[in-house]
Amino acid sequence: MKASVLFSSGKDSSLAALLMEPFFNIELVTINFGILPTYKFAKETANKLGFPFKVVRLEPNLIEEAAKMLIEDGYPKRAINFLHHTSLKVICSQPDTVVVADGIRRDDRVPMLTKEQIRSLEDTYNISYIQPLMGYGRSFVNILVKEHLKIVEGESDKIEKADYEVELRSFIRKQYNKGDSIVKSLFPKHIQSHVISRRYS
Amino acid sequence: MKASVLFSSGKDSSLAALLMEPFFNIELVTINFGILPTYKFAKETANKLGFPFKVVRLEPNLIEEAAKMLIEDGYPKRAINFLHHTSLKVICSQPDTVVVADGIRRDDRVPMLTKEQIRSLEDTYNISYIQPLMGYGRSFVNILVKEHLKIVEGESDKIEKADYEVELRSFIRKQYNKGDSIVKSLFPKHIQSHVISRRYS
């Protein structure tokens, strides 16, 4: 059975794909909004992991819309949830899509879908949406990552990965007056990961 | 890494074990309260699936306590959650236990642990508790079960499996005046499954 895994090259989406691998034909799918070519990092990681890879391009105006939400709210929750939900809807609507997965963990707060959004996604697009890590906590995900993957970790603005935040930050920096300080205040620095390859024991 | 999977011989706990199999050394663990030898069905299924199997025996007074809750409440939610939570605590406290899993799905209502109960379980016993099916909905679980397992399905009082409900029903039938009609009114019939073996394609 084919499964499309929403992929950022971070440790969560990589581990989700690994856990599904024995049971599905995995295709990694990275979203790009045309702001920065972040999909290049994702493609490189996908090749190293040995999974087929696809970029799905969405309109930059979605990033513009998310930036407005972010600045209106003063924190990224609604903006990131909007980009994640929109990305999932686009992936679910692609031809020949039957199973769509992402790397959301039990203790993630953002992005997160409500039960109603999940039900609507499955009913509208006639697909199964799964979150393979939803039953796993952060510390155990880290144990499995250490066992199966080689990663680099660093502050969120220095790690090269293909998540929404990178393009959103870049858009605000370029398009907004004092964009740089807006980004600094709205995205507190946190540790991000980028997967290099599998770890073979 | 060793993982103990709470096992009833039903399709959910069997599928949870199958999904974990490529990454863990699975041991299936069935709880028995000494009311009925339901673990025999679980042992048979465990053998067919090819997993090591263990019975953990708990005191019958826990079933007595659960029966009181059930009759007080008029529905099984609190009683089943109590038995599930107690069973998990006992499994987590066994020597050499590092990972404990069960077959709870995304849309299960009972049994279900709160985030606080999960955190407490992991912190108290220094284990990782995982729910491999928590990111999977009912209909997709059924698709995976069909692909990987042979099952029999039937009304809940006719299927031979090793879940708490079977011993709880039996206890009430024997110990309470008009126990049979109490059981009929408190446990609405529903379709249960019992796993026979793997399905090899």
Helix axes A179-186, A164-175, angle to 10 degrees: 150
The residue among B119, B181, B162 whose CA lies nearest residue B28 is B162
Q: Which residues of A touch B22 (CB under 8 A)?
A: 22
* B19 touching chain A per CB within 8 A: yes
Residue with tokens 């144990």: A143
ipTM over 0.85: yes
Q: Which residues of B touch A131 (CB under 8 A)?
A: 106, 134-135
Chosen from A88, A102, A106 to mutate, greatest number of chain B CBs within 10 A: A106
Q: Name the closest residue on chain B to residue A142, using Cα atoms.
A: B128
Predicted TM-score of the model (pTM): 0.96
* A104 touching chain B per CB within 8 A: yes
pLDDT number for residue A201: 60
Helix axes B39-49, B11-20, angle to 10 degrees: 40
pLDDT number for residue B105: 97
pLDDT number for residue B50: 98
pLDDT number for residue A158: 81
Q: Is the CB of A118 less than 8 angstroms away from the CB of B99?
A: no
Count residue pairs from A and B with Cβ separation < 8 A: 62
- B23 with B116: CB under 8 angstroms? no
Q: Is the CB of A23 less than 8 angstroms away from the CB of B19?
A: yes
A108 CB contacts (<8 Å, ≥6 apart)?
Answer: none
Structural domain B2-198, CATH architecture: 3-Layer(aba) Sandwich (3.40)
Residues of chain B where predicted confidence (pLDDT) is lower than 70: 201
* B117 touching chain A per CB within 8 A: no
pLDDT in tens, A139-166: 999 999 999 999 999 887 788 888 899 9
